[in-house]
A = this chain, B = another copy of it.
């Protein structure tokens, strides 16, 4: 991952509506959710949400696919992994006991 990619991803998440939308997509899993469903859930006008989802997609954090007249957006877990990896790259440089804090991510996220 390049620095500019990481900047785009963090900027995408640094906005309340987009962060909340992304977290909903994370919880929705791989199938994702239609744009309209996200917009209604967050009580945001469709065009505003469309702009936000487009920004999330350009950042690589979500993907989209059309099904009939619905456009489904889904979180990209691979991208999240790469982003976090980029952020903490070489954090312990061969010093395993230094990063206990990091290994607890899954537990903190109630993940897996």
Contact = CB atoms under 8 A, between A and B. Distances in A.
Interface of A: 3, 6-7, 10-11, 13-16, 19-20, 22-23, 26-27, 29-30, 75, 77-78, 80-82, 84-93, 95-96, 98-99, 101-112
Given A98-B30, A102-B81, A105-B81, A111 B87 contact: no
A76 to B, nearest CB: 8
In the complex this chain forms, how many copies of it are found?
Answer: 2
Q: Is the interface of A mostly helix, strand, loop or mixed?
A: helix
Contact of A13 (B23, B87, B108): B87
Given A3-B16, A10-B19, A109 B80 contact: no
Contact of A103 (B10, B26, B102, B106): B106
A107 to B, nearest CB: 8
A78 to B, nearest CB: 5
